Amino acid sequence: MRFHYYHDESTMNRELAERITALAHECIAQKKQFSLVLSGGNTPRNLYTLLRDIKTDWSHWHIYFGDERCLPANTEGRNDKMAFDAWLSHVAVPAAQIHSIPSELPQPEAVTQYTDTIKNTAQFDLVLLGIGEDGHTASLFPNNDWGTEKNAASVLAVSNAPFAPAQRITLSARRLSQTRHLWYLVSGAKKQNALLRWQQGAHLPMTVITPPNGVDVFVAQA
């Protein structure tokens, strides 16, 4: 793990926006495409707002989601709605290249459809993840199946999340590991205990998400 510490969230987000811009430029130059998996929750909202104003060729971006709550489409509380409100509705990423999880559907159908959506992207360029106070990431919660085996499904249905709604759709640990870069975003005093437990070797979902290039952890200390 590579840790990057910042005095405040604003400074962290500005650097993250610069890093994402640079990585997108590199990937587009090399292979005409940049594939990004978004984190939900409140932590990345201000970062997404900053991304409205970066200089990039949006036509080469492909946006995916690490997890989603099972709620009707365009409903408050959905990760894709937050991302659209903060960022995606303000930029020119082609609609066909924004790959929301269809979690408004019955879970088996949503899992099947999103598995098909991501099957042709063997490796993401960047996955963004957060850390919950209980140590969860995406919708991989402690004491649940995280999908770690070599033959594990790429997309999992969750029926017992400890926070409402209990039903979620999430990428598995195995699939989240298939990325060139994985960055965790950690902000707020309440997340520090989970971060410390991870550093001390607690068996948390983050320990089994193992991309070949390791992970970077960006921490705002205030």
Distance of CA 13 to the CA centre of its chain: 15
pTM: 0.96
Q: Kindly tell me if the per-residue pLDDT of 156 is higher than 90.
A: yes
pLDDT of res. 189 = 82
Classify domain 2-220 by CATH number: 3.40.50.1360
Residue of 221, 116, 120, 124 lying closest to 177 (CA atoms)? 124
Confidence of residue 190 (pLDDT cuts 50, 70, 90): confident
Region 107-114 average pLDDT: 98
Query: What would the pLDDT profile of 63-102 be if each residue is shown by its tens digit?
Result: 999 999 999 999 999 999 999 999 999 999 999 999 999 9
User: Cβ of 23: how many Cβ atoms within 10 Å?
Assistant: 17
Q: Kindly tell me if the per-residue pLDDT of 130 is higher than 80.
A: yes
So where are the chain's domains?
A: 2-220
Q: What DSSP string runs through 128-166?
A: EEE--TTS-BTTB-TTS----STT--SEEEES--SSSS-
Tokens read off for 150: 């070599």
Task: Compute the half-sphere exposure of residue 106: CA atoms within 13 Å on the CB side of its CA.
Answer: 2
Strands 124-130 and 34-38 come out as: parallel
Q: Kindly tell me if the per-residue pLDDT of 55 is higher than 90.
A: yes
Q: Kindly tell me if the per-residue pLDDT of 222 is higher than 80.
A: no
pLDDT of res. 105 = 98
